[in-house]
Amino acid sequence: MSKDVIIAADFAGREQTLRFLDKFQDEKPFLKIGMELYYAAGPQIVREIKSRGHKIFLDLKLHDIPNTVKKTMAVLSALDADIVNLHASGGCAMMKAALEGLLRPDGTRPLLIAVTQLTSTGDQMLRDELWIGHPMDETVLHYAKNARDSGLDGVVCSPLEAGKVHTVCGRDFLTVTPGVRFAGGAVGDQVRVTTPYGARQLGSDYIVMGRPITAAEDPVEAYRRAYAQFVKGECE
């Protein structure tokens, strides 16, 4: 399993994103394009960044009826994204339909991962608003199992959940984990955080880091620091 650092390109538009990417002369980081950038800049931004040599996690979190998700996934697959995602709460039929839609004529497809429960959802909201009667950790693991049984490649989860997900769903089932901060760095709105080295120790396969890299004084240095800890296993 090859580990990698994914930078969350949470920028408002194309110019800002390309200005950021221009800083990287010696490496081509894996990028996450989320709803903000995708809806602002359109599908063309995916093609443009791909053509510059970056891998792309297209984080659009689909959730709709199976037929709609299948057809939409076919569109995203044609953009040549490397990882795409959806909400596991859409159910197993939707997840299986998504996989069918992703299959390209040459037999390849992007990796498909599922959001289990958003990290902005707390126990009280799960119970009182969503009316889910099971505790959060059990719900997350149940959704992860549904994703695995539907043939998906992995889930987005906290690094702190990565070990449990691997135990239940297998070592090859991918854990893609946000909520990563450098020791002593600003936590921002993330609640439960670990360092890149800590995420490695906990078994994450990919870490997603936004602001600790994008808002750093020297983003290239910050990226290299994360890469050294997470991919090379260098403890600071």
CB 180 within 8 A of CB 207: yes
Q: How far is the CB of 210 from ligand C5P (least distance, A)?
A: 3
Active-site entry in 61, 96, 145, 164: 61
The residues that touch ligand C5P, with contacts defined as CB under 6 A, are 8, 10, 34, 118-119, 156, 178-179, 188, 190, 208-212
For ligand C5P, give the closer residue by CB, 32 or 109. Answer: 32
Q: Identify each DSSP E strand in the chain by its residue range.
A: 4-8, 30-34, 56-62, 83-87, 111-115, 154-156, 174-177, 206-209
> In this structure, which amino acid lies at residue 153?
D
Which one, 115 or 169, has the nearer CB to ligand C5P? 115
Q: How far is the CB of 128 from ligand C5P (least distance, A)?
A: 20
Q: Which is nearer to ligand C5P, 66 or 198 (CB)?
A: 198
Minimum CB–partner distance for residue 39 and ligand C5P (Å): 14
Give the residue nearest to ligand C5P (CB). Answer: 210
The Cα 29–Cα 121 span in angstroms is: 30
Report the C-alpha gap between 171 and 189 in whole angstroms: 30
Whether 61 is catalytic is yes
Per-residue DSSP letter, 153: -
Residue 59 and residue 12: Cα distance in Å, rounded?
15
Identify the burial level of 74 via C-beta atoms within 10 angstroms of its C-beta, where 0-12 means exposed, 13-18 middle and 19 or more buried.
middle
For residue 160 the two structure tokens come to 């702190």
> CB of residue 205 vs ligand C5P: minimum separation in angstroms?
15
Pick from 35, 74, 24, 88: which is nearest to 57 by CA? 35
The dihedral over CA atoms of 144, 100, 102, 116, expressed in degrees to the nearest 10, equals -20
- Return the number of the residue (14 or 211) whose C-beta is nearest ligand C5P: 211
Minimum distance of ligand C5P from residue 107's CB (angstroms): 30
- Residue 173 or 182: the one with the smaller Cβ distance to ligand C5P is 182
| Residue whose C-alpha is closest to residue 55's, from 34, 79, 29 | 29
The residues that are catalytic are 61
